[in-house]
Structure 1
Amino acid sequence: MFKNILLPTDGSELAVKATELAIRFAQVHGARIISICVAQPFPFVPASENAVVPDAAVFETQIAATAKANINKVETACATAGVPFEGVVVDSHTPYKEIVAAAEKYNCDIILMASHGRTGLNKLFLGSETQKVLAHTELPVLVLR
Structure 2
Amino acid sequence: MSYKHILIPVDDSPISYAAIEHAEKLAKAFGSKVTVMSVIALDPFTGVDFYKIAPAVTQYILEAEANAEGRLKDIKETLSHHGILVETKIIREVPTATGILNIADEINADLIVMGSHGRTGLKKLFLGSVAQEVLTISPIPVLIVKQSN
Which segments of structure 1 move beyond 6 Å, counting only runs of 4 or more?
Answer: none
Secondary structure of the 1:138 match is: coil
Do structure 1's residue 69 and structure 2's residue 74 form an aligned pair?
no
Report the Cα distance in structure 1 between the residues aligned to 2:64 and 2:75, rounded to whole angstroms.
17
Asked if 2 retains the 8 angstrom alpha-carbon contact of 1:40 and 1:63, the reply is no
1:56-135 map, 5 Å? 56-135=57-136
Q: What TM-score results when the alignment is normalised by the length of structure 2? A: 0.88
| Cα distance change, pair 57–136 in 1 and its aligned pair in 2 (3 A) | same
Report the Cα distance in structure 2 between the residues aligned to 1:96 and 1:77, rounded to whole angstroms.
25
Query: Deviations for 1:78-135, whole angstroms, at most 9, x for unmatched residues?
Result: 1121100000011124010010111110011110110011122111111100011012
| Cα distance change, pair 18–42 in 1 and its aligned pair in 2 (3 A) | closer
Report the Cα distance in structure 1 between the residues aligned to 2:26 and 2:50, rounded to whole angstroms.
51
Among all aligned residue pairs of Structure 1 and Structure 2, give the percentage whose two residues are the same amino acid. Answer: 31
Query: Deviations for 1:47-83, whole angstroms, at most 9, x for unmatched residues?
Result: 598x677622111100111111221122022112110
| Cα distance change, pair 60–132 in 1 and its aligned pair in 2 (3 A) | same
Report the Cα distance in structure 2 between the residues aligned to 1:6 and 1:106, rounded to whole angstroms.
9
Give the number of aligned pairs: 144
Report the Cα distance in structure 2 between the residues aligned to 1:41 and 1:126, rounded to whole angstroms.
15
Report the Cα distance in structure 1 between the residues aligned to 2:97 and 2:68, rounded to whole angstroms.
15
Report the Cα distance in structure 2 between the residues aligned to 1:48 and 1:30, rounded to whole angstroms.
47
Greater alpha carbon shift after TM alignment, 53-62 vs 121-130 = 53-62
Aligned residue for 2:13? Answer: 12
Q: What TM-score results when the alignment is normalised by the length of structure 1? A: 0.91
Greater alpha carbon shift after TM alignment, 106-115 vs 61-70 = 61-70
Which runs of no fewer than 5 residues in structure 1 stay unpaired? none
| Cα distance change, pair 77–118 in 1 and its aligned pair in 2 (3 A) | same
